[in-house]
Amino acid sequence: MEKRPFVTREQLEEIVKEYPTPFHLYDEKGIRENAQKLKDAFAWNKGYREYFAVKATPNPFILNILKEFGCGADCSSMTELMMSEAIGFSGSDIMFSSNDTPAEEFQFADRIGGIINLDDITHIDFLEKAIGHIPETISCRYNPGGIFKISNDIMDNPGDAKYGMTTEQIFEAFRILKSRGAKKFGIHAFLASNTVTTEYYPLLAKVLFELAVKLKKETGAEVTFINLSGGIGIPYHPGQEPNDILAIGEGVRKVFEEVLIPEGMGDVAIYTELGRFMLGPYGALVTRAIHEKHTHKEYVGVDACAVNLMRPAMYGAYHHITVMGKEDAPCSHKYDVVGSLCENNDKFAIDRMLPEITRGDLLFIHDTGAHGYAMGYNYNGKLKSAELLLKADGSVELIRRAETPRDYFATFDCFDVLKNVKYE
């Protein structure tokens, strides 16, 4: 089954007349439909809320769309907190899930009333010293260790992850926090990444629901919310079945009724922190073929590089590529599709069978809506691209301009050493 772009070649040809490649393009219609589907999947839980993982797609235009669907903001840094506050998120709209956190970031999160999710038991004293008190509502991140399996398949290795408290530590943390004034508690955990299965969330929910029951019994703490965090993935490869979010929501509901309801904990709110699921399929990197090279392999050089999409270089991650206008042409040519960085891993595809590509062809690199633009950097002095929003009516809105050389040199503006740089 071939992946199909959410835009036509004709639409792209019009867009590139105004906005040169490369750029990230987002599908507003798809984003809205998906956000509503998630909301419907957990409508059975009165307190349910999605805290969108800002790190995935830190753009205020995107955040404002999700805000319309009642989403909060999951932040992990000062600038993410600042962006979220600036566009109207406040108080319990914000979940601050960070690790190795500087004192000033705890202070800012507390000042704007965000819910703080502690990554480690030692952070209790650090937080109290930083802000002068323990918040009445607080959350702790849990890591059970070991290997996390689904149907005998290893999904991830929490024991190797730097995040979260051990079982013994989270019980002790709840006791300490309760003794210092905390009144409402949350539990958070992330045990596997990018799962494409309906089993992950219900299994994670069972772990956390059972933990919540024990914590309440043994510490007397009032657990008011359980944060299942992220981990629901997307089908990067063609032919992969996408996650059925309605079935996932139903699976969590069944576990909720089996574990929490009998313990009188039916008012516990369920939170999620989805980034990839919310935005991944609804973004693409659009780039143009500008060179070809015939040496030991066949290469296509494009005007994008790992600066624009780091995942293939960093993880060897697969992103499907459509050659626009050749969607139905036979994939008869084997290419490495590469960028211009002085790094041999700057490749969007290796030995990929594609239709014949000629210079000038537009390539649509799928599933970059989350952890795409956000992971960009400026190696080789490369500049980050624009972000565009394809509106539901077919029009296009610029939602972040492309960087310029002036942006690249901006942090030298306190020196005279580059005063003669000509930006134009």
What is the residue-wise DSSP string for 295-331? SSSEEEEES--TTT--HHHHH-----EEETT-TTS--
Q: Which two tokens mark 124?
A: 């209790």
Phi, psi (rounded to 5 degrees) for 396: -125, 135
Token pair belonging to 91? 């108080």
| Tokens 């059970």, located at residue | 144
Residue 175 tokens, joined: 């006791």
User: Which pairing describes strands 321-323 and 362-365: parallel, antiparallel, or unpaired?
Assistant: antiparallel
Joined together, the tokens standing for residue 304 give: 């994008």
Q: Active-site residue among 75, 331, 342, 414?
A: 342
| Residue 125 DSSP label | H
Taking the C-alpha atoms of residue 230 and residue 271, their distance in angstroms, rounded to an integer, is: 10
Residue 71 annotated in active site = no
Contact 365/287 with Cβ under 8 angstroms?
yes
Write b or e for each residue in 120-133: b if 16 or more Cβ atoms lie within 10 A of its Cβ, otherwise e.
Answer: bbebbeebbebbee
Alpha-carbon gap, residue 408 to 54, rounded angstroms: 23
CA distance 268 to 349: 45
Give, for 396, the enclosing helix (H) or strand (E).
Answer: strand 396-400
DSSP at 403? P
Enclosing H/E stretch for 392: none
Measured between alpha carbons, how far is 229 from 101 in angstroms, rounded to an integer?
19
Q: Treating both helix axes as pointing N-terminal to C-terminal, what angle do 60-67 and 78-86 enclose, rounded to 10 degrees? A: 60
Q: Which residues are catalytic?
A: 342
